[in-house]
Structure 1
Amino acid sequence: MKKTDILIGFLIGLFGAFLGTYLSLSFFTEQGFVEGFRLMKQGGNIGKVITLGAIPNLIIFFFLLKKNKDLMARGIVLSMFILTIITLIL
């Protein structure tokens, strides 16, 4: 049960970051998601966009802690570590 809770939290974290990135690109660029992502990557701002996209994970993290879902909250933190590594590579 432990591993599945962490995996569920990890997937929720990735989905939350993707959704946040999609929304931030939709609000701050006139282009679509793919074109906006490409333009931000060319401009060297993709790390900032992914960071803005990770804000919903903060809300999800504290919600899970309040509901006593500590292992799922650990999955959120794990997904943030993975996203940090990906951001450093890009």
Structure 2
Amino acid sequence: MIKKELFIGFLVGLIANSIGFIMATFIFGNGESIPVVFRQSLAQGFFNKLVSIGALLNLVAFFLFIKQKRDYRARGVIFATIVVTIATYIFTYR
């Protein structure tokens, strides 16, 4: 049961981060498509900033789970945030 709750929180964290990243690309992309903004962000060095802005939705998911007393799902969201942070670091500074 605990593993299921952690996995659900992890998935919610990844989905929230993805949606936040897409929203950030629409806001700061100047009308460009997502793949173009993705390539430009990597080339110009602001990819990690877009991912950080996207991770703000994880705060919403985390606090909603805390408010609903679903602590293991909240832990899953934190784990997803840590995984995305490590992946972004590796992807940006490889």
Q: TM-score, normalised by structure 2?
A: 0.93
What residue in structure 1 maps to residue 2 of structure 2?
2
Q: Supply the distance in 1 between the matched residues of 2:11 and 2:35 (Cα, whole angstroms).
A: 22
Q: Deviations over 1:11-57 (max 9, x none)?
A: 00000000000000011112111111111011111000000000010
Q: Structure 1 unaligned runs (5+)?
A: none
Written as runs of structure 1 = structure 2, the 5 A alignment for 1:55-66 is 55-66=56-67
Q: TM-score, normalised by structure 1?
A: 0.97
Q: Structure 2 unaligned runs (5+)?
A: none
- Alignment RMSD: 0.6
Q: Supply the distance in 1 between the matched residues of 2:65 and 2:35 (Cα, whole angstroms).
A: 31
Aligned length: 90
What residue in structure 2 maps to residue 83 of structure 1?
84
